[in-house]
Structure formats: C-alpha cells, structure tokens
Amino acid sequence: MRSREVGRLRAVGATTLAALLLIPLAGCGDDGDGGDGGSGDGKTLTYWASNQGASLEEDRKVLRPELDKFEKQTGITVELEVIGWPDLLDRILAATTSGQGPDVLNIGNAWSASLQATGAFLPFEATELQTLGGPERFLGPSFSATGAAGQPPTSMPLYGLAYGLFYHKRLFAEAGIDSPPKNWTEFVEVGKKLTRDGRWGLAIEGASPLANAQHAFILGQQHGVDVFDTTGKPQFTTHHLLMAVQQYVDLMATHKIVNPSNAAYGTAEQPIGDFAKGRAAMLLGQNDAVGVLAAAGMKPEEYGVAPIPIIDPLPPGGRRVTSHVAGINVSVLKATDNRAGALELVKFLTSSEEQRILNKAFGSLPVVKDAYSDPAFQTPLSKVFRDVLANTAAPLPQVPEESRYETTVGGAMRDLFAKVASGQPVGEPEIMAALSRAQQEMDTGG
C-alpha cells in the first residue's frame, strides 16, 4: 500500500472494518437508478481506482485511454472513478453493506485479508488464476499479499511498491562518505557524520502510525519476531518487538540523527521535502517517492538508492527483510452483475502491456515478471527496488486484525517520538509500557 496518503484512513477504517465483520453483507451491483453499482447490462463495468499519481485528475488522464482501449477490445464500457486514499477504505466498507458498489476496485494490499474476511469479494479459484497466467507469473512476494493463507485469494497484485534507502550524493561527498551504509551499525555511524551544520542524517514520518508500524514490522522481521502468532493472535510485548521499536525510536532518542521536529511529520511528503532541500541526507522511502522528489526539483542524478540496512549479524531466527510487500491489488465484488466482464478487466490490467504502461506512469513496479523487459524498469534505481520487492520483502500479516496493529503499535510509536521531541526520556521501560497498552487495546477491542 502507498505510504503517502493514508493518515486518517487507518484511524477510521480499522474500527469500521472490525464492526463490519459482524454485519450481514448486502449485495452490490446495479441499484436501478444509475448509482455506484454496475449497470447490469453486461456491457458496462464500474471501476474504483485508487489515487496513484499527483492528483485524481492525473490518474484519470493515465487510466482513461487504457480503459478506452479495453472497450475497443471487449465491447465493455468502464465507468471510472478515482478515489483518494483518505476516503477509499470507508467507501469500500460502505459498498459491501449498502449494495451500492463497483464491479472492480483497487485496494491496499495490506487490507487483503481484512476485506477477504467480509465475504464480499470474489475468490480467484484455480480457473480464474489460470486465466491470468497462474500464480507463478506474478512476483512471489506480491502474490503473497493477496489474502489469508490457505484460502483462495480475493485480490490480485496490480502495482508494486517497496522501501529503499535514498541517499543524497552531494551531502555524502561533502562528509567524505563514498557509498551507502551496508548494515545498521554503519547506517547509524554514517547518520552521525551527516548530522552537522544544521543538517540531519535522516528524515522520517514520526507522526505517521502507518509508517511507524511498517518499520517496526521490517525491523521485527530482522529480529525474528512475528507481530501475530500462527493463530492470528497479536503478540506485541515480545522482547524482540521491543528491540525493533527501540532500534527505530533510538534514531531520534539516542543517536540523534533525526530532527526532533520529525515527531510531527505525519505524511511522507514532509521528510521527502527535507531530503530534496538538503536538510536531511537520507530518507527511508518507497519507490513512488521518486515522483515527489522530481516535483520538488530534485534530479535523479542527485541521489542514489540502496536497500534499507540490515542488522549484522542477524540474531537467531532473524530474516533478511528490508521492506514490507507494499503495493496495490485489484479485486472484484462478488455481487457484480458482470462477473465475466469484471474478470476480463482484471486480466487486462495485469497484462504485460498494461503493467508496463501503468507502472511507468505511476512510478510503481510491475507485479508480473514478464513486464520487466521494458527499459524503464532496467534503470539502476528500478533494479534496486525490484530486487528488494522480489527477494527481501515480506508481506504484512495477512490476518483480519492487521489494520489494528498499525493503529495501536504505530500510534504508540508516534507517542514515543512525541515524548522524545518534548525532552522526556524514552528507553526500554517506556517502550514496553507503550507496547503493553497497544496489546491491551487489541485484547479488549479498545
């Protein structure tokens, strides 16, 4: 899922989704008055696309010609609506209960299991998967974020995203640093060398529960901890998760390579802006940050990208994970009036040609292997992100409660950063207390 536009989304959506699982589902499709549902005439589909570009209008300009191409190929008209991230999950949840929904829609891949649990989405059984070329056609990690293990997936990968370490070449050169850090110890040391003359080693989104939770997950994987056990029960008070959270918070609290003002940064544009303006020398960002950097006036040759450093040596059970499997999936509502047409649209969007066109336009990565022959995905930067996504990314927990992990643990980390910024001590006792409160919120449904 994109990291840039989901601030309010989680706070509202997680609670709403938990309540939704207890509500009988109404059908989606034509409502008889030309509303949000499909037309029911077999020749029209309604498609809700998530906002991927700089604006809703930019997305429409990218998607409309491609959907017109689909109409020429199939005779099926697609009514397009692009929905911003702050509204998308609430719109989806309303659609599953009101009967006013699209036929095809984009979802954040971290929602896959949560939305699957509503029962409102069409499963991709073996026949449907084979029509798309089979699971083996997709990047393995992206396909792993399509629903709960052991169940037919209810979404297919569409746009690929992954985290990387952006580094400012000029600031590195001025500090006498020849290459990006290769492990976490080097990362901290380099950050300290770069923190000087009013500049900081690293910029982060300290007030974003989503970004905080993602980094806790990534570092937790390196420490060998899963935030949910095999039964889907949260386990937030393990020592290894505490170590992962402390490792991230210490970038500001102990190592002081992050400006305390970053404790108030709730969107990715803020640290990206600091990096582009030379106020910070490193940035933990996803590949779609490239477009924001370009809009801020930073040229591609002015920065490099490397995988996020891994702790070295890894502890027993630790995993070589440098990103979560970020990205966007596409789903079909089970009650569509045009099931065959909806599946044709999914096939079209995941075709090699459209994967090249759309991911090029949006700065994301193809999720099918056969789209990478395009030179646009052979650049050094693209290769770094592709390698991360294909080889060192792990899916966020595919359990219905995943979104509440982000709001509870991510929110606890936001509060810890706020304490650091205000001069309060934040060490192991304070972090364990914060994780215990997050665990209690999960256990009690608070």
Quick check: 401 and 117 in contact, CB under 8 A?
no
Give the per-residue pLDDT at 96: 85
Coil/strand/helix, residue 379: coil
Residue-wise pLDDT tens digits, 234-279: 999 999 999 999 999 999 999 999 999 999 999 999 999 999 999 9
Helices 402-421, 7-20: axis angle to 10 degrees equals: 140
Comparing CA positions, the residue from 51, 56, 53 lying closest to residue 6 is: 51
Give the per-residue pLDDT at 226: 94
Q: What are the E-state strand segments in 340-381?
A: none
Coil/strand/helix, residue 38: coil
Rg, the chain, Cα only: 22
Coil/strand/helix, residue 101: coil
Give the per-residue pLDDT at 26: 40
Give the per-residue pLDDT at 100: 79
> Cβ-count burial of 378 within 10 angstroms (0-12 exposed, 13-18 middle, 19+ buried)?
exposed
DSSP character string of 132-170: TT-GGGB-HHHHTTSS-TTS--S-EEEEEE-EEEEEEHH
The total number of residues shown for the chain amounts to 446
231 C-beta neighbours (distance < 10 Å), count: 6
Q: How far is it, in rounded angstroms, from Cα 83 to Cα 98? A: 18
Give the per-residue pLDDT at 17: 52
How much helix, strand and coil, in percent to the nearest 5, is found in the chain? 50, 15, 35
- Which residue numbers in the chain have pLDDT < 50? 2-16, 18-40
Quick check: 211 and 258 in contact, CB under 8 A?
no
For tokens 């899916």, what's the residue?
395
Distance, CA of 114 to chain centre:
15
Q: How far is it, in rounded angstroms, from Cα 146 to Cα 367? A: 12
Give the per-residue pLDDT at 4: 46
Distance, CA of 371 to chain centre:
21
User: Which residues face 164 on adjacent strands?
Assistant: 285
Give the per-residue pLDDT at 44: 95
Give the per-residue pLDDT at 291: 84
Give the per-residue pLDDT at 3: 42
DSSP character string of 174-243: HTT--S--SBHHHHHHHHHHH-BTTBBSBB--TT-HHHHHHHHHHHHHHHT--SB-TTS-B-TT-HHHHH
Cis peptide before 234 (omega within 30 of 0): no
Give the per-residue pLDDT at 41: 53
Quick one: residue 130, left, alpha or beta (phi over 0 = left, psi -120 to 50 = alpha)? alpha
Q: Is the whole model's pTM more than 0.85, yes or no?
A: yes
